[in-house]
A and B are shown apart, each in its own frame.
Chain A
Amino acid sequence: MKIVTIALNTFSSFLRDKLIILFGILFACVVLLMMTSLLGMKALNSGANAHQMQSYVLSFVAAIMSLVSGCGSLLAAWAAADTVASEMKSGTILAVMARPVHRWEFLAGKFLGVMLLMAVYVAMMFALSYLLAWMGGETIQASPWVLLVYPLVRYAIYGAMAMLLVTVIHPVLAFAAVMAISVAANVVDPAQHYSNMFWTWVRNVLYVVLPSTALLSEEKFLVITHATLKKTSWIEHLTVIAYGLDYALVCLLLAMWSFHSRTLKRD
């Protein structure tokens, strides 16, 4: 119950956060701009055959969603880093932690608050992807739950990583580190071979340590058409989701452990 109370208060603070409001406004502007582009593309390609058109529209939707999804990663990392740091900066954490609340409960509440925000964001993303496909006269073939769960799990990883880092470093550094990690994780490609054994070793280690968020990309499901519809088994889905949740959980547990011995004071 205490975790839920902290989560709801955290979510409530996000809705009043100037940076997040600005982010929302920019998001709306980008969406409107993309809608215009989509309609323009549809008008220009009105003579193309149905298969080509379907492919164009779905690729375009996937590209837009890739951008929106990337912004979601930034939002998740920033929200998680800032929510803990701002409590320390303002000193509100002192009155909260004077209550019979365990430190892990505080952090779990904060994380849940971030996930509530990201759930709203994912719901908006989901609605947007269907809206764009509908405007393009196409339908998305992927199961709706994939478009909801995959990004949410991916954001859970970014949020948990940011929360872990912010227990030891400044929120801006934590945010930057999460972004650097996510880029590095995408760059580390296990299929690529290096002649140098050292780089092969480094790459393998990084591949194991860094989160493979590319596995949790819902974009691959957005571009699937009737013709290329690939059946992904439940086992595959569950394995990928379990991997993501496990990674997020490990980061969150490490964050709780680190936060347990942290000095609480007004920064």
Chain B
Amino acid sequence: MATPAIEFLAVTKTYRKPLGGQLIPALSDVSFSVLPGEVCAFLGPNGAGKTTSISILMGFLRADSGEIRVLDFAPGDVRAKQHIGFLPENFAFYKYLTASKLMKFHAALAGVKAPVADRLVPELLNQVKLSGYEKLKIAKYSCGMVQRLGIAQALLGDPQLLILDEPTSGLDPAGRKDVRDLILSLKRAGKTIFLSSHILSEVEQICDRVVIVDRGRLLRTGTVDELLTAGDRVEVLTNLLPETLEPNLAEWGAIFERDAHGVRISIPVAYKRQLAETLWAEGSDVISITPVRSSLEDLFLKVVGGGQPS
């Protein structure tokens, strides 16, 4: 098995209010891992511990206990950071610089040689649709443009691992689609991407793995397929639904829909066998029984108890 790109093992972090005040647990025994080449979504409501976790991954903050490895190095190790592209939440910038100068500044810090940076910077700015705005001071950029610039700087130096905190924040629908397409193209290129986002429908489309945290505790982790197919409903497809069965279905919490192929009945897993036997007894054919794949949003709301993702 490949060495995980990110490994979080029993990580605990507690903040202490100034002057020896109250202890605030931020992370309690959180464990998850992200394999190379995976796109992993890091989800949780406000105050769940996402930013704390990302800060620990980047070496900005130290965990109280637990083991953390990033590209098989300790967090903050320069050798790991050489292969990491990072987009902080609400990307901050030097207002007096132009996009081109900011990119060249970051390229120099990333160890990209000046001639390479001269070629690479316009390419990346073009990739995030900022061509033509290179000479404009960043202070005059809109929120969306700043976010695009943040993504472009994260891509400098051809990083192996991208850590993106709210990459679509501040973007319009077209911009969000561009970022989604960009992430998919990076995924195809074999990059590992760890992102936090509150747009769950988008996350579901691009992610392989999901980590859900709330109040510093890990609630769920697994591949999208594992988590979304492990729903509590099944869909039964039958050729015929006798009218006499309809009151029973309502009682079992079933939802049904008639179409050209027959009747699709969505029912809680607990009534699956009972429904199938009843249908057979009534002379109907059960064509298929398939688990209902829930949406990531449904799963999220279910596990965090209706809290709002952020």
Q: Which of the candidate stretches A21-29, A37-45, A94-102, A127-135 sits at the interface with the other chain?
A: A94-102
Tell me the bound Cα distance from A96 to B82 in angstroms. Answer: 12
Q: CB within 8 A of B92: which of A13, A16, A95, A261?
A: A95
Report the stretch among B34-42, B83-91, B278-286 that lies at the interface. Answer: B83-91
Say yes or no for B81: interface residue by CB 8 A criterion.
yes
B245 within 8 A of A: no
- Do residues B92 and A2 form an inter-chain contact, with CB atoms below 8 A? no
Q: Which residues of A contact B (CB under 8 A)?
A: 1-2, 5-6, 9, 12-13, 16, 90-92, 94-102, 261, 263-266
B109 at the interface (CB under 8 A from A): yes
Which residues on B sit within 8 Å (CB–CB) of A16?
Answer: 96
A266 to B88, CA, bound (A): 10
Q: Do B92 and A5 touch (CB < 8 A)?
A: no
Known: A265-B61, A266-B92. 12 other contacts (CB 8 A): A5-B105, A9-B105, A16-B96, A91-B90, A92-B92, A92-B93, A95-B150, A97-B59, A97-B60, A100-B81, A101-B81, A263-B55
- The answer to whether A94 and B60 touch across the interface, beta carbons within 8 angstroms, is yes
- 20 CB-based A-B contacts, threshold 8 Å: A1-B108, A9-B94, A12-B96, A16-B96, A94-B58, A94-B60, A95-B86, A95-B88, A95-B91, A97-B58, A97-B60, A99-B81, A99-B106, A99-B109, A99-B110, A100-B82, A263-B60, A263-B62, A264-B55, A264-B60
Which residues of chain B have C-beta atoms less than 8 A from A101's C-beta?
A: 78, 81, 109
User: How far does the Cβ of B172 sit from chain A's closest Cβ, in whole Å?
Assistant: 23
State whether A13 and B96 are in contact (beta carbons under 8 Å apart), knowing that A94-B88, A98-B58 are contacts in the complex.
yes
A247 to chain B, nearest CB (A): 29
Contacting residues, chain A, for B192 (C-beta < 8 A): none
| Residue among A5, A95, A261 making CB contact with B62, cutoff 8 Å | A261
Which of A90, A100, A263 contacts B110, CB < 8 Å? A100
* Contact of B111 with A by CB under 8 A: yes
Q: Is the CB of B60 within 8 A of A91?
A: no
> Which residues of the other chain, A, contact B33 by a CB distance below 8 angstroms?
none
Given A5-B109, A263-B60, A264-B61, the answer on whether A98 and B81 have CB atoms closer than 8 Å is yes
Q: Cα distance A262–B171 when bound, in Å?
A: 33
A98-B86, A98-B88, A265-B61 as given contacts; A92 in contact with B109, CB under 8 Å? no
- Which residues of B lie under 8 Å from residue A91 when comparing CB positions? 88, 90, 92
Chain B residue at smallest Cβ distance from A266: B92
- Interface bracket on B: 20 to 34
Q: Are A265 and B105 in contact (CB under 8 A)?
A: no
B64 to chain A minimum Cβ distance, whole angstroms, is: 12
Question: Whole-angstrom distance from the CB of B111 to the nearest CB of chain A?
Answer: 6
- Give B61-113 interface residues, CB cut-off 8 Å to A: 61-62, 78-79, 81-82, 84, 86, 88, 90-94, 96, 105-106, 108-111
Is residue B153 within 8 Å, beta carbon to beta carbon, of the partner chain?
Answer: yes
Residue of B55, B60, B93 ringed by the most chain A CB atoms within 10 A? B60
Q: Once A and B bind, how many residue pairs between them come within 8 Å at the CB atom?
A: 73
Chain B residues whose C-beta falls within 8 Å of the C-beta of A92 in the assembled complex: 92-94
B contact residues vs A (CB 8 Å cutoff)? 55, 58-62, 78-79, 81-82, 84, 86, 88, 90-94, 96, 105-106, 108-111, 150, 153, 163
Are A100 and B62 in touch, CB under 8 angstroms? no
How far in angstroms is the closest Cβ of chain B from A170?
A: 12
For the complex formed, measure the closest distance between the CB of A69 and the CB atoms of chain B, giving whole angstroms: 29
- Minimal beta-carbon separation of B140 from chain A (angstroms): 15
Across the interface, B108 reaches (CB within 8 A) one of A2, A95, A102, A266, namely A2
Whole-angstrom distance from the CB of B1 to the nearest CB of chain A? 28
> Across chains A and B, which 8 residue pairs bring their CB atoms closest together, nearest first?
A91-B92, A98-B86, A99-B109, A264-B60, A5-B108, A94-B88, A100-B81, A100-B82
How far, in angstroms, from A216 to B150 measured CA to CA in the complex?
46
Check A265–B60 contact: CB distance below 8 A.
yes
When the two chains form their complex, are residues B61 and A263 in contact, meaning their CB atoms are under 8 A apart? yes
Which of A1, A98, A266 has the most chain B CB within a 10 Å cutoff?
Answer: A98
Residue of B55, B61, B88 contacting most chain A CB atoms (<10 Å): B88
Bound complex: CA A167 to CA B82 (Å): 25
| Nearest-neighbor residue (CB-CB) of A261 within chain B | B62
> In the complex, which residues of chain B have a beta carbon less than 8 angstroms from the beta carbon of A6?
109
Contact of A96 among B55, B59, B62, B109 (CB under 8 A): B109
> Which of chain A's residues has its CB closest to B52's CB?
A265
B257 vs chain A, min Cβ distance (A): 50
How far is B88's CA from A96's CA once the two chains are assembled, in angstroms? Answer: 10
Q: B75 CB to closest chain A CB, in angstroms?
A: 11
Closest-CB distance, B146 to chain A (whole angstroms)? 12
Complex: A266 Cα to B108 Cα, angstroms:
23
| Chain B neighbourhood of A102, CB < 8 A | 78
On chain A, the residues within 8 Å of B108 by CB distance are: 1-2, 5
- Which of B58, B61, B78, B105 is within 8 Å of A100, CB to CB? B78
Residues in chain B near residue A261, CB distance under 8 A: 62
Q: How far is the CA of A5 from the CA of B114 in the complex (A)?
A: 12
Chain A positions within 8 Å of B58 at CB level: 94, 97-98
B184 → A minimal CB distance (Å): 23
Residues of B within 8 A of A95 (CB): 86, 88, 91-93, 106, 150, 153
